[in-house]
Amino acid sequence: MTQVLLQQLNNSDINWMIANGLQQQVAPGTVLIQQQSNLDYLYIVLEGTLSASIKRNQESALASIFAALEDDSDLEQEISSYSSGEVLNEISFLNFSPSATTVKAVEHSVVLALPCQTLLAGLQQDLGFASRFYRMLAILLLDRFDRLVKKFTHRQNLKIPPLQDVPLLFGELSDSDVDWMIEHSQVEVIAPDTVLIRAGRPVDNLYVLLQGSVSISFVEDTGSSLASVFTLLESDQSDSSPGYEIAETSSGEIFGETALIDARLPSYTFKTLEDSQVLAIQKQQLLIKLQQNPAMGSRFYRVISMLLSARLQGLINRLGYGRSAYQVGQRLSQDVKYEDEIDLNVMDNIFLGGARFDWMLRRLRVLS
């Protein structure tokens, strides 16, 4: 992960973080981030190793089964480890949500603590820095998401819930961003069972789902030989979707976005479940625009980071160790952060994003 940070940031970015951050020594066994805490710092691991664990949700039947099997009423499960170059507490930084995991040092470690408000101010002042930083963060989150999907979803047959706050993504963009997307894209009507993106194959377009639903399937082995790829093209299996389903997208979601941040071939296949409408934007054209316009780049890469962070949090919650989910008839508690609860800090952006998405739909209807 060190290489990701050094490859995406430049010397000026790194010098700024050194000048505005504070190095902290973390002794073995020390908890740096407590699950459900809302900290004011973003951490970058400089040395050592830290582990992330999740404590079981008392309301989750799945977690209770795990606890019974382990004979442990207070079960915690380690889900990942972090080494040099990793970024921690990004959920609080991006989505204003409490941490989904507890992070503690496995060995003596050193982290750089960046005050979130100071970092946000610095990113707003230097849009080139912001574009590079959010791109770097998105790459790290994609790698972390892939690791968790490989480790848990197939074994436990879990599905990631649809995003609760899709309009928030459009709230982060500007009117000019959305206007550019409309002018440089085309609306496509897609039949059911059509594969839009296939695991192990290049991605040509970024898609915004305007109407309908799309299934996301994970494929563990995308290292197919070139011969097998061309054989697939000639076979009757061109519309098949190998792997196992991990999620379904809803109207307003973006997919194919990871091709903007990572040259790796995708591990996921996206297939329509019903008659759907998508806004298709050519990847290369969008990449050129993001390079030419750092302001749009900073907003777009932040949206991708938020999207990956939300999917990562949804996966963790589905493991049965996340936040409590509200149930009909249950009395609300001010002391509980519910899984589907919307943070008041982002409510304005959700309203703005919803209005902007509706405006985009109206514009597309006029142009069609």
Return the pLDDT at 325. 44
- Smallest Cα–Cα separation from 360: which of 211, 140, 163? 211
Instruction: Answer whether 0.85 is exceeded by the pTM.
Output: no
Cα separation, 140 vs 132, whole angstroms: 13
The CATH number fitting domain 167-323+338-367, selected from 2.60.120.10, 2.60.120.640, 1.10.150.20, 3.40.50.920: 2.60.120.10
26 near 48, Cβ under 8 Å? yes
Between the two ends of the chain, the Cα-to-Cα distance in Å is 45
- CATH architecture of the domain covering 2-133: Sandwich (2.60)
What are the tokens at 169?
Answer: 């993504």
C-alpha 134/C-alpha 301 separation (Å) is 5
Distance CA 123, CA 129 (A): 6
Q: 112: which strand partners?
A: 23, 44
Q: Which two tokens stand for residue 230?
A: 């061309």
Listed residue (270, 272, 253) closest to 213, CA to CA: 272
* CA count, 13 A, side-chain hemisphere, 218: 18
Beta strands in the chain (DSSP E): 22-26, 31-33, 41-47, 50-55, 76-82, 87-88, 102-105, 109-115, 186-190, 195-197, 205-211, 214-218, 244-249, 254-255, 268-272, 276-282
* Secondary structure (DSSP) of 57-117: PTT-HHHHHHHHHHT-TT-EEEEEEE-TT-EE-HHHHHH----SSEEEESSSEEEEEEEHH
Domain limits of the chain? Answer: 2-133, 167-323+338-367
Structure tokens, 184:
């440089």
2-133 against 167-323+338-367: fold identical: yes
Please tell me the distance from the alpha carbon of residue 340 to that of residue 77, in angstroms, as a whole number.
Answer: 22
Residue 75 is predicted with a pLDDT of 63
Characterize the bridge pairing of strands 41-47 and 87-88: antiparallel
Residue 17 neighbours by CB distance under 10 Å? 20
Q: What does the block give as tokens for 215?
A: 């299934």
**C-beta separation of 321 from 77 below 8 A:** yes
The total number of residues shown for the chain amounts to 368
pLDDT at 20: 97
Closest CA to 151 of 319, 27, 268: 319
Residues 232 and 154: their CA atoms lie apart, in Å, by: 24
Q: 10-residue block means of pLDDT along the chain (368 residues)? A: 88 96 96 89 96 71 48 68 94 82 95 96 96 96 90 71 68 89 92 93 92 88 56 50 78 88 88 94 95 95 91 79 43 47 51 70 69
Q: How many whole angstroms separate alpha carbon 54 and alpha carbon 80?
A: 10
User: How far is the C-alpha of 323 from the C-alpha of 282, rounded, in Å?
Assistant: 38
